[in-house]
Amino acid sequence: MSGGLAKTLMVQGTGSSVGKSTLVAALCRIFMQDGLRVAPFKAQNMSNNAFVTPDGLELGRSQAVQAAAAGIEPSADMNPILLKPEGDGRSQVVLNGQPEGSFKARTYYEGRETLWTEATAALDRLRASYELVVLEGAGSPAEVNLRDRDIVNMEMALHCGSPVLLVADIDRGGVFASLLGTLELLRPDERALVKGLVINQFRGDRSLLDPLPQMIEERTGVPVAGVVPMIPDLQVREEDGMSLEREMALRRQGAPGSLSVAVIRLPRISNFDDFDPLARAGLGIRYARDPAELAEAHIVIIPGTKHTVADLRWMKSRGLDRGVMAAAERGATVIGICGGYQMLGELLDDPEGADGGEPDSERGIGLLPVSTVFSREKVTQRVQIRVAAGVAVSGLRADATGTGYEIHSGETCTEDGENAESLLEIARSDGVWRPDGAVGENGQVFGCYVHGLFDSPEILQPLLSSVADRFGLEAPVVRPFSMEQEYDRLAGVVRESLDMDLIRDITGIG
């Protein structure tokens, strides 16, 4: 293939969390394996799970995952509009990778024409650079109340004339009604773009589905392109809130006698995939909303958040701040990541209203000797990390290294303006090493700004071994993990489950 704009294929769903993001990642991997230069695209994403491009721009985490599956670096063009919910009907708008401000939904939609122009321009740039672009929709295209404001579903498919695969999750029930109802609510020009139906998350014997696929095809006139099974323990995760609710339902118990982890389930939690390496190590993980859920945890983590001050006040209203302090007093390891790191300090000061829209301040939990001053300048950087020399956290070695990324506003330091005992040293794109994070007096409370801290086995293994030894438990083993192998596993299952000849035919790639 050469010359002109890339071919396109779009994945839409009968609703949220039916597996669109994961299916796009699988298709990107499959087409990459088949020798095509392929890229993902989602015009508008709503999520507080974000990632950083090599040039310091933000995009939704799922598009970064899809780019990795395609074997390419992510770019802001893959997700030109990212909405980061802040609560009270407001979201921060990240346009082409950079924050544009915080808006109510009505105000946001008033700028639809500008957003449409930016989104289509981003798609066109991708199509000029690749051979195939796999687009992802959002929610359902059958939400007729949003049709006049659509920039991510059928309007985008019509813009580029893309064939559409419509996906339904059979594990949620009502798959026939979901597919048929969605098609019935589409306009004729929209329905004409739907070239294949996909039944996702099937459990059990495929033959037991018969004659459902045939009935769907006869009733709709659209072929069923395949039935994708539930894939056990898949590490290629969706990013939205419903995905986390499923995580909460599933992650309750680790192996008997294993370390247990309590992650505070903040209302505006962000980047919760930070904790996937802990689950892979066999730790029991509980997402806690009540102080009682912290009582037996060996490790308590306050995660990142889109709105630090508001979520800290939520913690205080539920007594979770006191629960965190009690956990520290009984010897649990307490860790703060990004916003959680800020909360563990003495004071959060927001003179410009950068965190919540209005000038504000709030006393922190007080377990770290630092304070944070927010500013409108936002740090979005990929970083190299190494454990700081002489760090007092038991088990950590000063030569332990890793990689991660920062997405935050504010500067955190001691009240006299100096850095506290640092947990890490980090190097951004300028190559300069600088201190990051802080450690409490006993070495069992610490925090930092770096997302991806636990991805480094050099850091995670000695940390878990030290905590296990302190509680007289068997140390978990952090085994090597390859996300590349996980992408290949996903692609293998999906390739076997879909009629790839049909998909190549409707896409026009031969």
Active site residues: 338, 451
Going by the DSSP 8-state scheme, the letter that residue 255 receives in this structure is S
The pair of structure tokens assigned to 453 is 């801290």
- Relative to beta strand 98-104, strand 90-95 is antiparallel
The pair of structure tokens assigned to 502 is 């049909």
Closest C-alpha among 322, 333, 260, 328 to residue 297: 260
Spell out the residues 6+ positions from residue 1 whose beta carbon is closer than 8 angstroms to its own.
Answer: 7, 36, 131, 509
Q: Please tell me the distance from the alpha carbon of residue 508 to that of residue 510, in angstroms, as a whole number.
A: 6
The identity of residue 441, as a single letter, is E
Closest C-alpha among 306, 271, 279 to residue 452: 271
The identity of residue 463, as a single letter, is L
Strand partners, 336: 302, 447
Cα dihedral 141, 177, 244, 361, rounded to 10, equals 50
Give the length of the chain: 510
Closest C-alpha among 199, 189, 466, 152 to residue 335: 466
The pair of structure tokens assigned to 5 is 């704009």
Q: Are 443 and 393 in contact (CB under 8 A)?
A: yes
Please state, in angstroms and as integers, the Cα–Cα distance from residue 345 to each residue in 200, 231, 366, 370, 434, following that order: 45, 41, 5, 5, 20
Going by the DSSP 8-state scheme, the letter that residue 181 receives in this structure is H
SS (H, E, C) 12-63: EECCCCCCHHHHHHHHHHHHHHCCCCEEEECCEEECCCEEECCCCCEEEHHH
